[in-house]
Amino acid sequence: MVATLSTMSVRAADLKIGFVNTARILKEAPQARKVEERLKAEFGPREAQLKEKRQEILAMEGELKSGSGLTSNARRKLEREIRLKVSQLKFLEQEFREDQNLRRNEEIRELQQVISNVLEMQGDTGEFDLILTEGVSYVSDQIDITTQTIEMLKQLPESSEESQ
């Protein structure tokens, strides 16, 4: 049994282990920035429309508060209109968040596949026997290969990151 344990420790010493901080990659990789740009371009117009609707409601509420020259019927009508617009806005905001989260998750899944392919390349080249990503309590700088992985991601041609 002692011989088996010493053999295992010798084998473990021969292993080259790397760790990648995927949260850092998702912030720093050029592909991650492109994902954010695409999402901003896709959802920016809808976000601007929601902001416009919020401003419209605020203006109506301001008109209601000032109450200048409003009859009681006009006041009730304005209050109903405000409630309706607030209700519609809440629905649109929820729909917007759901759509945005769905698209973000799709984009992140694709990016994670690209990252996975790069990690696989790092392992296949014989540089590493084991590459860890999540759920690690401690990592020394000696095995943190996040910067190296980000550099590899920067070297990928745009067409390969899109098709992954």
The pLDDT tens digits of the residues spanning 92-133 come to 999 999 999 999 999 999 999 999 999 999 888 877 888 998
Domain that holds residue 79: 2-163
Task: Check residue 4 and give its pLDDT.
Answer: 46
Task: Check residue 163 and give its pLDDT.
Answer: 45
Q: Tokens standing for 42? A: 């896709």
* Mean predicted confidence (pLDDT) in 17-38: 92
The pLDDT tens digits of the residues spanning 124-161 come to 887 788 899 888 888 888 888 999 899 999 998 875 44
Q: Which amino acid is at 88?
A: Q
pLDDT-based confidence at 67, cuts 50/70/90?
confident
Other residues' Cβ atoms within 10 Å of the Cβ of residue 35: 20
Q: Are 139 and 14 in contact (CB under 8 A)?
A: no
Task: Check residue 14 and give its pLDDT.
Answer: 76
Task: Check residue 124 and give its pLDDT.
Answer: 86
**Domain of residue 81, CATH code:** 3.30.910.20
Q: How far apart are CA 8 and CA 97, in angstroms?
A: 51
Task: Check residue 164 and give its pLDDT.
Answer: 45
- Could you give the number of structural domains in the chain? 1
